[in-house]
Amino acid sequence: MHVTIYHNPKCSKSRQTLELLEEQGITPDIVEYLKSPPTAEQLQEILVQLGFAPRDLMRKKEDIYAEYELDNPSLSDTELIDFMVKHPILIERPIVLANEKAAIGRPPEQVLEILPE
């Protein structure tokens, strides 16, 4: 099984989620998304797997969210995705991909739902 985690090592929830995966005997591919942000196409695919709209995946308490007025309803999904690509700090973390599904590790145990029994 191929598992990927979009990880921020400075985030406690991200570290806990990675540890939980490892406790399950899973060695995921680790993408430090602040250093290697996903492309717009990858983000779109993740959004589909999560069943989220772009704004649902955004960290609304980040200063940049307010600075660029990303709560403006006139912004399109494409524009919001482009902002996340350019400013990956806006992307909620951690995201785990497995079995063509995605889950946010908040709480970390939530990612267990997409892993096989």
Q: pLDDT (tens digit, 9 = 90+) per residue, 55-75?
A: 999 999 999 999 999 999 999
pLDDT in tens, 27-50: 999 999 999 999 999 999 999 999
Q: Which of 98, 93, 92, 94 is nearest to 26 (CA)?
A: 98
CATH of 38-90, one of 1.10.340.30, 3.40.30.10, 3.40.5.90, 3.40.50.300: 3.40.30.10
Which sequence positions are flagged as catalytic? 11
For residues 105 and 113, give the distance between their C-alpha atoms in angstroms, rounded to a whole number. 10
* Within this chain, domains 1-33+93-117 and 38-90 share the same CATH topology: yes
Tokens describing residue 113: 């739902």
Sequence-ordered list of residues with C-beta below 8 angstroms from that of 75, at least 6 positions apart, any chain: none
- What angle do the packed helices 77-86 and 40-50 form, to 10 degrees? 120
Tokens describing residue 88: 């990956």
